[in-house]
Structures are given as C-alpha cells and as structure tokens.
Copies of this chain bind each other. A is one copy, B any other.
Amino acid sequence: MLNNYLQECLYFTANRLSRVMTKMAEDEFAVSGLSPTSAFLLMAVYEKDGISQKELGELLHLQPSTMTRLIEKLIIKGLLTSRIDGRLSLISATEKGKALEGTIHECWMSLRKRYTTLLGEKEGDELSLHLFTVSDRLENKE
C-alpha cells in the first residue's frame, strides 16, 4: 500500500531518479574535476562566448543566485571570466577553461553511454526528451 504511494508519486520517483543520475554523472565527470552542472555551464559558454548570466540561467533552468555561485566558483578555478555590461554580467571562458572542452565532451559521452547501455539507446533518449517536455508542461502553466 505504501509502496503504491511511493511508486505513484511523481515527487518521489522524480527525486529518486535525480539522485541516481546525479551520482552517475558526478562519477563520470570526476576526471574533469568538475561537477556535472559546472561542466554543462562551460559547454554553454563554449557555444556562445560572452553569454549573459541571465541567459545561462534560463538554459540550465537554475535560479539567479545559483548562477552567481556556480560562476563564482569557476572564476576562482580560473576557467571563466566575467565582465559587466550595464546590468548584465557577460561570461567567457579563459584559455584554461577552453582547454577543458575535449575532456568535458568525453565525459558527457561516457555518461550517455553508461545509461543508454542500461536502458537502451532509444529508451534513454526518449525518456530524457520526455522529462524535458514534462517539466515544461508542469512549469509554464500556472
């Protein structure tokens, strides 16, 4: 009976999956010396040098204060720089930051391989896309 509650509650199942995936991702990204989220943040900066902090937050679906803290750490590590433009904070990768691009990409591929091996490639990708659209539906309507 309680098991039903747990399996049927999207709060619980989503959080559990999140914990499992986080552990797996931290494991795969460990060789880069970065948390998975920081790694993705860097990827976003590779794609668009000088991207604003706000836009980064929207991409990653993280709160402004969280962005401040994440970026702060990466600046301290010497991987990012920021310059202020009006009320925007524009973020770029340093040389040291750019040097990590290959490693990060490899980590991301290992991670993907690891879970698609367990779930099947098709199912893994479909699930991920599904979760993306579900989050949208849950968030964008009030």
Binding site for B on A (CB under 8 A): 1-3, 5-22, 24-25, 36-37, 40, 43-44, 47-48, 59-61, 108, 111-112, 115, 118-119, 124-125, 127-132, 134-135, 137-139, 141
Contact = CB atoms under 8 A, between A and B. Distances in A.
A131 B16 contact: yes
B10 A124 contact: yes
A128 B60 contact: no
Closest 10 CB pairs of A and B: A18-B18, A13-B131, A11-B25, A2-B47, A10-B128, A14-B21, A7-B132, A13-B128, A13-B132, A11-B21
Given A10-B124, A14-B18, A127-B130, 5 more contacts: A7-B128, A10-B131, A13-B131, A17-B18, A24-B138
